[in-house]
Amino acid sequence: MHKRISQKDVSCPSSLWSDFIFSDAEQKRPLPASLAVGVLEGEGIGREVIQAAMQVLSALESIGKNKFAVEFGGIIGTEAESACGKPLSDEVLEFCRDIFSRKGAILSGPGGGRFVYDLRKEFDLFCKISPLKVSPELTRAVHIKSSYLENVDILLVRENASGIYQGRWDEMSTRSEGRRAEQSFFYTETQVRRILEVAARMASCRRGEMAVVLKDAGIPTISKLWKECAIEIASGYGLKYSFPNVDYAAYCLVQDPQDFDVIVASNLFGDVLADLGGVLLGSRGITYSGNFSGNGAAVYQTNHGSCHDLSSQNKANPIGQIFSLAMLLRESFGLSQDAGLIEAAVAETWRQGWRTADLAEKGSRVVGTSEMGNLVADTLIRISRTRTE
């Protein structure tokens, strides 16, 4: 049994959730001269939204905040699979290893195929954090009544390196049944405990509530393992905990989102709930996340796909990628002021009525991907000047 942990034993940084994941929080913070940002542009709309994020990063550098060593890696996803037979090439693997060895972080655009799953497995990026915090500037653009969205601030913690996405699969044919597809997976107690421990520590520094998403009758043994480990760990932190089944959790996430604080879920369940959470925010295009290992490696990305149907049309929403950049600066480099400046610039841009098409509402001014990136960058510079006057 784990010992009971009192509130005073838990260090609660203001916003650095990565401190609860990295085994040595201080080791992840590079010197200012070593702010290495490895960029994987991705495919589809990836290059466009990454370019918008780079515009914002350049704006930060122009006001003299910090200087970043930005390096671009190779192709990923289905493009890489066509070129070299693997969605995660050896070249990109070596690129990521080099960035991580210098205590840098990866900003990734979307990549198809098994790119993200292979990347997470290779670097044991076991914890994915997806913030679901409603922006007051967008309440009229969300397809849910604004009264249900007040103070919605959810942290979705997803087990990211095990479970069904890292299982075994096979395909065969039989005379009697035709083709048969198989998939099997498992969870170990070690895998379950480490993600629950992260979620519990985070919950102890928030409202003290943790919802552990299961499917107890449908997936009985795995759900039993998660539940028993969660009861022990949550009790040790003095948390209020619940065990909604995934279907009910999805319903409640839309019906009563204010009831949630920290949600922790398995790989598949967390994936589905994070996308559903985009409804609360107003668009999947503004969802984002960080993928973390225990040794300081981190990859930041949007929660949407490559959207090839929008590629090269200057229509994609780049804000999810810009928010993932802000998350990188805060969580991997400890640059909370820089991250906050980016977030404030996005909020002010929205407040002025600028929108991409997915968030358009009556009276808004609709712009494309690159224009939105320019607007956020310009607003960032303007806000910075007013703060220093």
Measure the CA–CA gap between 96 and 39, rounded to whole angstroms: 9
Helices (H), the chain: 46-62, 77-84, 90-101, 115-122, 189-204, 220-236, 246-255, 267-281, 319-333, 336-351, 369-388
CB contact at 8 A, 273 and 217: no
Which candidate, 325, 334, 281, 304, places its Cα nearest to that of 52? Answer: 325
Q: Six-digit token pair at 319?
A: 């804000």
Please, is 168 exposed, middle or buried when counting C-beta atoms within 10 Å of its C-beta (0-12, 13-18, 19+)?
exposed
Taking Cα atoms as reference points, which of 18, 110, 98 lies closest to residue 327? 18
Distances (CA, A) of 329 to 100, 163, 278, 301, 339: 15, 29, 22, 13, 6
Nearby residues of 228 by Cβ (< 8 Å), 6 or more positions away? none
Catalytic residue set? 165, 215, 247, 271, 275
Structural contact between residues 47 and 109, judged by C-beta atoms closer than 8 angstroms = yes
